[in-house]
Amino acid sequence: MGGWRDMSAEALEDQYSPSRWSPRLDRDTIIDAHLAVTAAGTERARASAQTSLHVPYGKGDREKLDIYFPTDHSGSHMDTMVLQVRRSLAFLVEQYPEIRGIYLCGHSAGAHLAAMVLFTDWTEFHVVPDIKVPLPSGAVLVSGVYDLEPILHTYVNDALNMSREVAQRNSPMRHVAPAVPAACEVLVVVAQHDSPEFRRQSQEYSQALRAAGWSVSLLDLAGVDHFDVIEKLSENSYILTQVILNMISRA
């Protein structure tokens, strides 16, 4: 059975170019449409919630996060990005010790970063989460990449400039650890019209987590592509919206 190593460079480029797989729009317009939809969704979210935007958690220009409070008011480059996400969560725990849980939801590259958070030694950040409130409390990984090595051979790495060592060090698939008793629930989501490589990675990563004892579910969503799989979260009737709200409500 062949794998990504048997693909031509052109075929591998296609596999890691989500815009080439949507049946809705052509690849020249779907990214612009996606950016427009997500930007509008962000504006709606900011208008309907109490927020604290662009909160610095480090000294870098990009080390800022947007905090969305519940309405009831209760209670190398890749290495750097992973560190920044981990530091942002440590900041939240220290800044808001009364919170009941932190839930991660990442899409595409964001799903990769969220997956890296699952295997963090929080003592390095001087954070020791309560055993009843694991960090994170839940994770939703949408259309992500969990093994970065294939990307080394695509245009995606032109900007990242990862070496094989960096790619391996930052591949969640290579760092799956046995689940501890307080390990969070993980939902791995993949779209019907994601590329076969994206679908393979989601399936294999969820299998690896399950084999290591994690509470993990794989949600394969029909009728959506790499982009509207996340765009539809603004719809209350969307199955993924309902699943995420249910995950949080069980806390």
Residue indicated by tokens 């480090």: 58
**Running DSSP on this structure, what letter comes out for residue 126?**
T
For every residue of 150-177, DSSP letters joined together read GGGGSTHHHHH---HHHHHHT-GGGG--
Contact call for residues 187 and 140 (beta carbons, < 8 A): yes
> What sections of the chain are H helices per DSSP?
9-15, 30-48, 77-95, 109-117, 156-160, 164-169, 196-211, 228-231, 239-249
d(Cα 251, Cα 246) in Å, to the nearest integer?
9
d(Cα 30, Cα 228) in Å, to the nearest integer?
10
Contact call for residues 216 and 129 (beta carbons, < 8 A): no
List residues with catalytic annotation: 108, 194, 226
d(Cα 24, Cα 223) in Å, to the nearest integer?
10
Q: How far is residue 188 from each of residues 28, 199, 240, measured CA to CA in Å?
A: 28, 11, 11
